[in-house]
Amino acid sequence: MSFKIGILICLIIMIFIAGITYYLGRKFAYSLIKYIPVFSFISGVIFYYIKLNFISYKPNSFDGIYDMIAFIILIVVGSIALLETVIIDIVKNSELFGKGYTALRKAITSENIKKKFKFKMPSGILKKIRS
Q: Could you report the per-residue pLDDT of 46-100, keeping only the tens digit for each?
A: 999 998 888 877 777 788 888 899 999 999 999 999 999 988 888 877 766 666 6
Cα 37 to Cα 49: distance, rounded to the nearest angstrom: 18
Cα 68 to Cα 119: distance, rounded to the nearest angstrom: 70
How high is the pLDDT of residue 74?
Answer: 93
Cα 21 to Cα 18: distance, rounded to the nearest angstrom: 5
User: Mean pLDDT throughout 32-45?
Assistant: 91
H/E stretch holding 125 reads helix 123-130
Q: Is the dihedral of CA 71, 74, 76, 78 positive or negative?
A: negative
- Note the pTM of the prediction, 2 decimals: 0.67
Contact between 15 and 37 under an 8 Å Cβ cutoff? The reply is: no
How high is the pLDDT of residue 2?
Answer: 79
